[in-house]
Every structure is written in structure tokens, then in C-alpha cells.
Structure 1
Amino acid sequence: MAGEDQTVLVRCADLAKFAVPASVAQRAGSVAAALETGQRVVELPRGVNGKGLATAVAYYQARAEAEAGGADAGQFDGEFVRGLTHDAAIDLIYAAHHLGDQALFNLFAGYRVNY
């Protein structure tokens, strides 16, 4: 299988499961570490719920598409964060922290989230 075709099953403490392309999942430090050991099913820490992971995966995929289309990454990030509800932002912050994705966590510096 080519790297693009491989997926990893990511499972949250609330039992939500996501089949995520390995190339996308590797952005998260905790998932990347598991992939390096050959795991194809990754159990996430208790702080990551299905809603937060779904938002993180949506961000990863949308950003990859935006970058492939030549969009400005900083502008995309700002628009993404501003489009989140308060609850979605909190879930994503917890997910970013527990996934070990400092870049995703840092998205919230300087942006207002809709309440």
C-alpha cells in the first residue's frame, strides 16, 4: 500500500472511531508515535472526545486541500477558528493538547471564537 492509501483507526475514550489517512493522522504527535511502532489502531487519552477529534480531522483535511489549492495557510487557519462555536473550540483545544499537536493548539492565539 502507498502511504497515501494507508489509514489508521483512531478511537476516543467515548468510543467514537475515525478511519483517518495516515498522512493526516501523523500531524498529531501521539498518533504519529503509535504509527512508528506499527500500530494501526490508536487509543487516544481521555481528554479527547469524538467531537474534538472530528473537528481536528476536519481541520487537517480541509487545510491539506486548501494548501493543495494554493490558499494562504494563515488566512485559512483564521477563518477556520473564527467559524467555530465556543463548544467546538473548547473540544478542539482539548483534542489538540491531548493529541500532542502544538501547531493546532496554537491556532487559538490571537483569534476570537464565535460565542
Structure 2
Amino acid sequence: MAQEDQQQQVLLRSVDLVKFTVPASLAQRAGRVAAAVEAGEQVVELPQGVNGKGLATAVAYYRAREDAEARGADVGEFDEEFVGGLTHDAAIDLIHAAHHLGDQDLFNLFAGYRAN
């Protein structure tokens, strides 16, 4: 957490006014957010299709994925487990968020996934 405190922080706000403060490095994983961060914005109003639930799931994914990478975990396996652990509704919210955030990598997590 000390490293996060030293990084630039960005406030992400969804259409339903849910807010998350995240390090700029995490926020920049989403293409549309990256442009705002690079322009120096510290508060980023997210597109209409990003609701609070989708944003919460995206932020949880970004944080957990960053932690998995830092531990040297198999990120492909991590991605499968993360997606597999989502409820149907959470998966739909995350797909919408990924699309509207312009995060193709996050969106592609669902390309070959089939729920049981």
C-alpha cells in the first residue's frame, strides 16, 4: 500500500455516482480512462454504460491481477478463476464496463468462457 500512496491517485466515478480512488497505473489499464489520466484529469467521469457494480468488479479485477502478477502467479489461470467465480449478473456488469471503458483485454476474458 505504501507504493500506492506514492503514486498519483485518480478518482473514477460511475454513472450512478459510485466512486473509487485508484492509482493512476491501475486506471490506465482502461483505454478511455488512460487518455483522461494522461491529460492530467484527477477525476474521471466514466461512460454511461459503466455502473457502480461493473466498476467495482473491474477495480477488484485490476487490483487482484496486479497482485497476482507481483507474486509471479500464472495470470492465465488467475483470469480463468476470476471469471469463473463471477455470478452471471456480475459477469454481465463487467462485460459492459470493459466495453465502455475501452479495455479490450478485460473484455476478451470472456471470449471463450462458457458458464456452467
TM range (shorter): over 0.9
Report SS of the residue matched to 1:53. helix
Q: Which of 55, 58, 77 in structure 1 is aligned with 2:57?
A: 55
Does residue 33 (structure 1) correspond to residue 27 (structure 2)? The answer is: no
Could you report, residue by residue, the CA deviation over 1:14-45 in whole angstroms, capped at 9, with x for unpaired residues?
01111011110000011100011110000011
Deviating 4+ runs (over 6 angstroms):
none
Q: How many correspondences in the alignment?
A: 113
Unpaired runs of at least 5, structure 1? none
Give the aligned partner of residue 88 of structure 2: 86
Whether the 8 Å CA contact 1:89–1:113 is kept in 2: the answer is no
Give the aligned partner of residue 77 of structure 2: 75
Quote the Cα distance in structure 2 between the aligned partners of 1:113 and 1:11.
30
Does residue 100 (structure 1) correspond to residue 102 (structure 2)? The answer is: yes
TM-score, structure 1 normalization: 0.93
CA root-mean-square deviation: 1.4
TM-score, structure 2 normalization: 0.93
Unpaired runs of at least 5, structure 2? none
